[in-house]
A and B are shown apart, each in its own frame.
Chain A
């Protein structure tokens, strides 16, 4: 059998064997980092659901105030505590599907505006938190030594302050009712966790080979930080920022609820809740609307954060 095989036959057999071999090897598909991230994220059903909820809320906050215009602050004399409606008596489109509050304001429009305000403040505060956090954290982690020591003691001090009370102080003393004072107050007190995260990442990256190689090649500190150290440190920052949005929205609501937040006729989830206290008896549902919106934002942001942490961080277990 072996003896009378011709060269051609031999050749053919070898090709066939190679084919069999290749058909037999491990067929686990190769995926890029982002494909893996996507795959891991999609597995996290709650996080996917959270994204949908957040998109719906954001759309609501962006679109409804545009459609209803000034309706969120217009008071209607004869519509106090009026029931839900789509059109008013004159046949005009009002979109008041949640009814009216005790001074005749369209609750649906008002809730849209409030969601917009709260989300804007939350996002703006997180931007400040992330910027300060990256700045302080990367300096502490990159330079190290006494500077790191000083900065971290400063972080300790910030963490020892009674946070919410200091924010109350700042907003009360520096211009109560001003949105930007609130944003600054939340941002300036909330960066410590982000700074610690970035510092920890940088400390572990400092001695990694490719960073040392970049240093040996004479790259400038800015370049090393921005090109080589920040990108791998981004995953925990993104997660922290997502969770930070929830925290900031809650702090803003608490401030407004306590009477230190958005002033005047402005609407935020907190001010709506504060007003809601007044109609405990007349319309219990009206207490629920802004409260549920707030809970939805917080839950979605925390699920999204969990999902992102599992998806982005390659050091995490892939799956069991």
Chain B
């Protein structure tokens, strides 16, 4: 924690990272110029449909991108230090210690041939100078913390002897055993039953308060975001399309995609015949449309959408990548926007019909 006390500013700053996959069929820009920040003890929700680059973003922060993927640009600053510039050994010291991660699939994320206690103790021993005995005691303590009854006996069990919810608790215990500053949780509750989901979120909230830990919560479930997050980043096809605090996102979402996501969750306070869905699917990363990536599915589609929209600042800490004016109106010809993008746009809007 000494480092973070010296460092002024957010815990994690992600600046313009691009993670591309060089496949046989072409370059897949899974993450394309993403920027966000997480403050100490803050929770950031990263939302979007599957395939929009959320998980790749989190793996990029951990530098766990495998070939043919590669982080080609940007910076990941943890307490002001660029993780992308670190050597492998230094990066390993950070992984699992300052930054921990839990994954979507509790059923397959634990190694089937080792006991749960061993797997937690391994993380502890990796990052702290303790004896085997102490590491084992720590793992039992952590299992207790995440609410596993009869922790002493459970520590000696193999993953297959536990339910999905229990395994996710073990994963959390493992991730938190080293008191990380940041927990990256990639769809931690998606694979679980609803009641178990609530319990796991409860555990995470609890531990966040106790440890003053920041969380980067990746999910496609806006309900989870509403419950957990302070700030929200909405991703679409590898880009951030809207970024704001949680109140703004739910109260006055600007981007049509965010609006669509919100309309597709059931609400108790409204009587609706049917839930709306966003038409179509996320475009193939090898066949992205020109201009706005969302235009094919957008209800407000305009001709100007063939030009890449600007990333407008709509208010304090509220950004949206859309041509609609802050009030949600179609932009007028020669709108106040400036720069080459705006000029292109103005041209697109004024083109004479053939």
Contact = CB atoms under 8 A, between A and B. Distances in A.
A25 B25 CA distance: 19
B2 interface: no
Nearest to B354: A16
Contacts of B7: none
B67 to A, nearest CB: 12
B24 A319 contact: yes
Contacts of A90: none
Interface residues of B, number: 12
Contacts of B284: 26, 28
B287 A26 contact: yes
B302 to A, nearest CB: 10
A27 B23 CA distance: 19
Contacts of B354: 16
A12 B287 contact: no
B178 to A, nearest CB: 34
A13 B283 CA distance: 26
B289 to A, nearest CB: 6
B287 A27 contact: yes
A209 interface: no
B296 A24 contact: yes
Nearest to A26: B287
Contacts of A26: 283-284, 287
21 contacts: A9-B353, A12-B353, A13-B353, A16-B353, A16-B354, A17-B303, A20-B303, A24-B289, A24-B295, A24-B296, A25-B296, A26-B283, A26-B284, A26-B287, A27-B287, A28-B284, A28-B287, A319-B24, A319-B25, A320-B23, A320-B24
Contacts of B25: 319
B351 to A, nearest CB: 11
Interface string A2-35: 0000000100110011001000111110000000
Interface of B: 23-25, 283-284, 287, 289, 295-296, 303, 353-354
A20 B348 CA distance: 14
A81 B353 CA distance: 87
A40 to B, nearest CB: 13
Contacts of A24: 289, 295-296
Interface of A: 9, 12-13, 16-17, 20, 24-28, 319-320
A24 B287 CA distance: 10
Contacts of B287: 26-28
A320 B24 CA distance: 8
B88 to A, nearest CB: 26
B24 to A, nearest CB: 7
Most buried by B among A13, A17, A26: A26
Nearest to B23: A320
Nearest to B21: A320
A94 to B, nearest CB: 50
A13 B302 CA distance: 12
A139 B284 CA distance: 44
Which 9 pairs between the two chains have the least Cβ-Cβ distance?
Answer: A13-B353, A24-B289, A26-B287, A24-B296, A12-B353, A26-B284, A28-B287, A9-B353, A16-B353
A221 B295 CA distance: 52
B327 to A, nearest CB: 18
A26 B284 CA distance: 8
B2 to A, nearest CB: 45
A18 to B, nearest CB: 12
B297 to A, nearest CB: 11
A51 B4 CA distance: 65
A27 B289 CA distance: 11
Nearest to B281: A26
A302 B295 CA distance: 48
Contacts of A25: 296
A25 B289 CA distance: 8
Contacts of B24: 319-320
Nearest to B290: A24
Contacts of A13: 353
Contacts of A17: 303
A184 B295 CA distance: 66
A228 B126 CA distance: 58
Contacts of A319: 24-25
A320 B283 CA distance: 17
A20 B305 CA distance: 12
Given A9-B353, A26-B284, 4 more contacts: A16-B353, A17-B303, A26-B283, A319-B25
Nearest to A320: B23
A318 B354 CA distance: 43
Nearest to B289: A24
A128 to B, nearest CB: 41
Contacts of A20: 303
A319 to B, nearest CB: 7
Contacts of A27: 287
Contacts of B289: 24
A16 B354 CA distance: 9
Contacts of A16: 353-354
Nearest to B68: A320
Contacts of B353: 9, 12-13, 16
A88 B248 CA distance: 96
Nearest to B24: A319
A9 B283 CA distance: 32
Contacts of B303: 17, 20
B91 to A, nearest CB: 27
B293 to A, nearest CB: 12
A28 B281 CA distance: 14
Nearest to B295: A24
B349 to A, nearest CB: 10
A35 B25 CA distance: 19
